Amino acid sequence: MSERRKLAAILAADVVGYSRLAGADEDRILARLRALRSDLIDPTIAVHNGRVIKRTGDGALVEFRSVVDAVRCAMEVQNGMIERNAGVPQDRRIEFRIGIHLGDVVEESDGDLMGDGVNIASRLEGVAAPGAICLSEDAYRQVKARLDLSVSDLGNTQLKNIAEPIRVYSLRVGTAAQETAAATSGLQPALASTAPPPKLSIAVLPFSNMSGDVEQEYFADGISEDTITALSKLPQLFVIARNSSFTFKGKNVNVQEVGRSLGVRYVLEGSVRKSGNRVRITAQLIDATTGGHLWAERFDRDLTDIFAVQDDVTQHIVDALALNLTEGDQRRIATEHTDNLEAYDCFLRGREQLWRFTREQNTQGRELLQRAIELDPKFASAHAILAIAHGLDYINRWSASPSTSMHQAEKFATLAVALDDRNPYAHWALGIVNLHLRRHDMAIREAERSISLAPNLAEGHESLGSTLHYSGRSAEALDCFDRAMALNPYYPDLWLHFQALAMFQLERYEDAVVSLKRRLVRNPDTDVSRVLLAASYGHLGRFDEAQVEWQEVFRINPDYSLEYRRKVLPYKNPSDFERVVDGLRKAGLV
């Protein structure tokens, strides 16, 4: 059989939740798909010079002469589906995911295409959110200057069975983008929206370190994070979380693109230069919709005035946005600080280490935070973050004695609240501790308290969601996860697992599978998500797929133990965990 190589634009598409739809009424879904192909899909492919390579029951592979044609076709199809889904109940809508790649393919004599170009397009389709289109970097490069697109850079993404990570761009189309995103529970990180951002919304980019010493990065990052924390306490604002803002660290960014990517109207950027006992901080507030500057200032101060500078920056932002603050709001945003600059330095270093979430850096961070407390025993924030460090040791079995770690976490979280009852991180930490001690009602109260103090604290909403799930209130938990993901569009992949847990508990197994597959794209080496995926497949009767995932669990972690998970997961009702075991049992795995 003869073959030839060529460069081609490949589009891969499939129907979201096809098994669920077919299971509910297979004849109806097949009839609707045939109608869509004849009325919308095939005519649109023909208009844009596409050639169908292969059809599956619920999808297709299509070759185009150019990426521009492929993207225009995809946008027209997705917009057409928005119109056709208007008024249709969510659980009966047909929604497509689409992936587009420009790459090398092998064309066989019968016209079939093979090779990485096809494989990558198929994997991109699996990453796309319902109603969205995902482009590889090679594809995006062909269209970014030729089409008016609203895209989000999802960064380098490890696609299944593809050797090297690929930079992925997500494109959402149509006026119903936000409705689709909400309906799918925020499954896709960092989706740009065509709708205008909230009027009072802001992202604080990581301040540039101008000190000429890379060792001072932690200090510049700390100033940025403290500014985010202060603004997060204001209910009038929508403030993007640190994780998402910091994805732009070290990049030459276009502020208007940042605004579109994060869904905000305003962006704060600046720089920090620390030299001896002097510090210079510059900051400028920019309207991301126009690129215009609202305010800019330079502060040259003694290092001892660092907290006053942070308060000044926050107040300037408040003034520039014409926020009407109550006396309580003014007290709320005042920087919590220590009079001991060495303690503050240790706190910034320790917190920075902690957020990297590795065993070694958690140990280093814990030691630095302990030193900060020794230097200032009344430093509430240091106590709160130290409690989190000990909690991570317990949850991840990083310490020789997990029970001792939990005891230490409880001690420091309790002290943090006692020292400053208005510190949101103190209540966040105490809520996490209470959850793992199975004090569910107390954990819910602490999580709610952290949110009341800092309505924009994404971690607070995620923590409340997890606590509600483990308390058997998963429908409410999903609302919390939606809010957390909106505040932190580039959320940690672990949040997808939490979301899937709640869906699984609600018997929404198809939706759980979608979330878990998204997590596996970002983190292929997770054992717990593969276990939950295998259990979901078990409940869906997809036993061969369950077997594959179960084998992967023990390849990744030969010591995985269901009994240990049963012991440590803080379910209020133990039968909730047994639903996972039941799914595995249905697939003949346990």
Q: Kindly report which listed range (13-27, 141-155, 249-263, 518-532) carries the lowest average pLDDT score.
A: 141-155
Burial class (CB in 10 A: 0-12, 13-18, 19+), 304: exposed
Q: What is residue 170's DSSP assignment? A: E
Residue 189 pLDDT > 60? no
Q: Kindly report which listed range (13-27, 149-163, 233-247, 556-570) carries the lowest average pLDDT score.
A: 149-163
Tokens found for residue 543:
């036993």
**Cα separation values, 474 from 104, 448, 571, Å:** 45, 16, 12
pTM over 0.85: no
By C-alpha distance, which of 540, 541, 565, 560 is closest to 550? 560
Helix residue ranges per DSSP H, 172-305: 177-183, 217-232, 242-245, 255-262
Q: Kindly report which listed range (65-79, 209-223, 351-365, 575-589) carries the lowest average pLDDT score.
A: 209-223
Query: Considering the chain, what is the average pLDDT of its residues?
Result: 87
Distance CA 59, CA 67 (A): 19
Domain ranges of the chain: 3-183, 202-333, 493-590
Q: Check if the beta carbon of residue 73 is closer than 8 Å to that of residue 44.
A: yes
Looking at residue 325, its pLDDT comes to 73
Q: Kindly indicate the confidence band of residue 182, based on its pLDDT and cuts at 50, 70 and 90.
A: very low
Question: Could you read off the pLDDT of 489-518 as tens digits, one per residue?
Answer: 888 889 999 999 999 999 999 989 988 988
Question: Could you read off the pLDDT of 126-171 as tens digits, one per residue?
Answer: 888 788 899 999 999 888 877 767 777 777 777 877 878 888 888 8
Looking at residue 184, its pLDDT comes to 33
Looking at residue 335, its pLDDT comes to 62
Q: Kindly indicate the confidence band of residue 258, based on its pLDDT and cuts at 50, 70 and 90.
A: confident
Pick the CATH number of 493-590 from 1.25.40.10, 2.60.120.10, 3.30.300.30, 3.30.70.260: 1.25.40.10
* 159: three-class secondary structure by DSSP: coil
Looking at residue 549, its pLDDT comes to 93
Is 3-183 in CATH node 3.30.70.1230?
Answer: yes
Q: Check if the beta carbon of residue 453 is closer than 8 Å to that of residue 234.
A: no
Q: How many CB atoms within 10 Å of residue 395?
A: 15
Q: Check if the beta carbon of residue 263 is closer than 8 Å to that of residue 201.
A: yes
Mean pLDDT of 427-434: 97
Mean pLDDT of 313-317: 85
Long-range own/partner contacts, residues 393-400 (CB < 8 A, 24 or more apart): 393/362, 393/366, 394/436, 395/436, 395/568, 396/359, 398/359, 398/362, 398/363
Looking at residue 183, its pLDDT comes to 33
Residue 294 pLDDT > 60? yes
Q: How many CB atoms within 10 Å of residue 100?
A: 32
Residue 194 pLDDT > 70? no
Residue 342 pLDDT > 90? yes
Query: Which CATH number is associated with domain 202-333?
Result: 3.40.50.10610
